[in-house]
Structure 1
Amino acid sequence: MTVSNSLGSDNNKERSERTKMQKSKSAARFLVPYLTLLASILALATHATAKSAGDFDYYILTLSWSPSYCADDGKKGRDNLQCFSQRNYGFVVHGLWPQYEKGYPEYCNTSFRKPSSKLVDQMLKFSPSRGLIYHEWKKHGTCTGLNPLDYFRKAVKGFKAIKRPESLVGLPRPVLMTTKEIEQAFFKANPNLPRNSLFVTCKKQKLREVRICMDKNGKPRRCSASALNGSCRNRGKLRILSVR
């Protein structure tokens, strides 16, 4: 009888445990869609649309190293001027991006029309891609509260205010530099830049961009920790491709 009662007790425990496991699995299946939705909401919060155009904390001026872009992503028919013409581009204006201290706005509602063809033509000297210029206005410019002319004027003014290191101007042959060496070269060329106001991005072990943080008046300022998440983590030497 003792053995029989013991076996019966064990069977009851097994049934109870199976029931608990089935309930847990059912609860998990029920919660998955809601957890997925919550994760999506949290992700969108990082770069949600601004409450209103002009609602942001500072800018990031992004300078792209054109030879790297052309080597990795340039395509005929889309990037002919930048990558397949006889013009030798080094650093070009990728964009002027409004930022929050944490995250950034994008694709904001605006009453301003898209940039005129004349304005785009003028910007090609600094951003040699019509598609890029229209894209930057749509994604970032609309969130600044500025009209297209003032937005791109501010981008060009920032670009002209940043001196490119002489060692990277008209680069005749590829060189190797660490992110720290690239940053130091910019600091040396621009003594007014605070030490935490710029950072380097990379792709495929190549220099991709130099990003400079500026306040709304165009003066250099510290970059927030959120922005620095995009900095290059490669501790070795980056390839800086020669200007064509």
Structure 2
Amino acid sequence: MFAMASLPARLIILPLLLLFGTCNANLIRGGDTPQKPFDFFVLALSWSGTSCSSVKDCCPTNACCSSEVATGFTINGFWPDYNNGSWPSCCDGPKYDQNSISIISGFLNTYWPSYDCISAPACGRFIESDLAFEWDTHGKCASPVLSNQYEYFSTALMLYFKYNITEILLKAGYVPSNTVKYPLKDITSAIKNALGVTPIVKCNGHSPIREIQICFDKTLQIEECPTYAPSKCPSRVKLPIKNVTQVPETTNYLSFRGSLNW
């Protein structure tokens, strides 16, 4: 079954998540290179069953090893993009500070989890977590619309709950299965009928859905995504069940991960 946010949890978080208006678009700088203002946001959602389908080894930082992490779709990223298919990255901005998002850290752990054991370097340096990677690589470039970490991460959570793709598909009868294949056009139509826009659907290999993307303008209104990324999925696709892998007790992955952050 899908792990959904309960109504009380939403009542707690939603008053904390603020809607932000559009600011004047000034030049954003990344290092010494001026970067033009971005055009729109992409909310990228990973299907947890596909993300965990190839996991053989486990660690405490991998969502595939935790039953506490949401099944269905989780947040993969919230990215400022350009209309031509490129995007800004590694812009100037405040340093990642876990304390600034502590009030929503539980929601981030559940709905914006990591599917890795080791964090990738960001902007030429090692970083402490996948959320730090997202902030350094993408979040800083969301200025001036979203100017700090709390605004960036809480806005992504707010949009994730408001446009809940997992619930939309569940209500339309598309449930997780390792064997059943659904018509891609029907899944796309179910989302479009609910949201009024066509999602971008990406797949892994032959048929499992890997990611769904929906787009927003800089006033955070949902809009059609540019057509630069047509789907390469087959006509029938799967929504694999998330299998929870057990964490081995003998491996100290946290220490190993920490050793990379020098």
Q: Which band: TM-score by shorter chain? A: 0.5 to 0.7
SS in 2 for 1:98: strand
Q: CA deviation at 1:168?
A: 7.6
User: How well do the aligned residues superpose, as a CA RMSD in angstroms?
Assistant: 2.7
Aligned partner of 1:142 in structure 2 is 140
Contact 1:141 1:148 (C-alpha < 8 Å) held by counterparts: yes
Q: How does 1:120-159 map to 2 (within 5 A)?
A: 120-129=105-114, 131-145=129-143, 146-159=147-160
Q: How does 1:218-233 map to 2 (within 5 A)?
A: 218-226=220-228, 228=229, 231-233=230-232
Change (3 A) 1:77 1:167: same
CA distance in 1, matches of 2:40, 2:73: 22
Aligned partner of 1:71 in structure 2 is 53
Q: Mark the runs of 5 or more structure 1 residues left unpaired by the alignment.
A: 1-47
Change (3 A) 1:75 1:121: farther
SS in 1 for 2:58: coil
Q: Which has the higher contact order (CA 8 A, sep 6+)?
A: 2
Aligned residues between the structures:
187
Change (3 A) 1:169 1:61: farther
Aligned partner of 2:183 in structure 1 is 178
Q: CA deviation at 1:134?
A: 1.8
CA deviation string 1:118-175 (max 9, x = no partner): 2544411211238332221111101111211000111011111213222589945333
1:85 paired to 2:77 = no
In the TM superposition, structure 1's runs of 4+ consecutive aligned residues that sit over 6 Å from their partners are none
Q: Which moved more, 1:149-158 or 1:176-185?
A: 176-185
Change (3 A) 1:61 1:74: farther
Aligned partner of 1:188 in structure 2 is 193
Q: CA deviation at 1:212?
A: 0.1
TM-score, length basis structure 2: 0.63
Change (3 A) 1:108 1:138: same
Report the structure, 1 or 2, having the larger helix content: 1
SS in 2 for 1:201: strand
Q: CA deviation at 1:224?
A: 1.7
Aligned partner of 1:55 in structure 2 is 37
CA distance in 2, matches of 1:74, 1:132: 20
Change (3 A) 1:178 1:243: same
Change (3 A) 1:84 1:169: farther
Contact 1:90 1:170 (C-alpha < 8 Å) held by counterparts: no
CA deviation string 1:103-131 (max 9, x = no partner): 11111121x12041525444112112383
Larger Rg over CA atoms: 1
